[in-house]
Amino acid sequence: MKILMLATGMGLGGAETQICALSARLIDLGHEVHIAWLTGDAGLALPAKAITHPLNIYKTPIGFTRAITRLRKLTHTIEPDVIHAHMVHANLIARLTRLTNRHKNGLHQPRLICTAHSSHEGGRLLMLGYRFTDSLTDLTTHVSQQAANTFIDKGAIGKDRILVVPNGVDTDRFKPDNTAYRNVRQTLGLNKKVPLERIGFWLCQMVWIPTDSSLITRRTETSARRLA
């Protein structure tokens, strides 16, 4: 299949990481994967075999209009079987584009999946946007039941129109590694009695910290004190 992943942006973030991981696995399964995003530069290493399409728009009314035009042109060019949109702005753009998007022969309409990645994807106006465009998507998914319930309670979607699909974890990459475990503890100056799971979020942030030893030291000391 041809699959078009559409995101609001591809900077550093959990949703963007999931898009990359999902795209890589789909490519491994033999699918042709395109990744398009509305705004900004890619802050992650995108899968090497994915075909990328930055749409370069701004989050303004004019920008959204341009996004619909550019997405419609892109879908006519690559003719995807499935469009999988992620995050609120991309979800709404994909839905609205469907109103005007028709294949050259007038028969084909890609399947549209919209995935939300947060319990709070925007204010009242965006939730109304979700509600009024709900019929334009074939399936809406969320990454947690609690967040899906929040969407239902806000009236953004009916309870029979949303499916919970938890985030995936690549167990080939994320698995116990005693050597790495000891090295991280040694780097942070932690003894065996201090649990690392309490600073998991900070450890993820540390990967992207510039090489500023004083900054790393201060953050290490602060985190260690909180665990004491």
Task: Supply the pLDDT for residue 41.
Answer: 93
Q: Which CATH architecture has domain 2-164?
A: 3-Layer(aba) Sandwich (3.40)
Model confidence, pTM: 0.78
Task: Supply the pLDDT for residue 17.
Answer: 92
Task: Supply the pLDDT for residue 39.
Answer: 95
Q: What residue spans define the domains of the chain?
A: 2-164, 178-227
10-residue stretch averages of pLDDT, the chain, 228 residues long: 96 92 95 97 93 92 92 94 96 93 62 93 87 94 93 90 90 82 79 56 44 43 44
Tell me the two tokens of residue 10: 């591809």
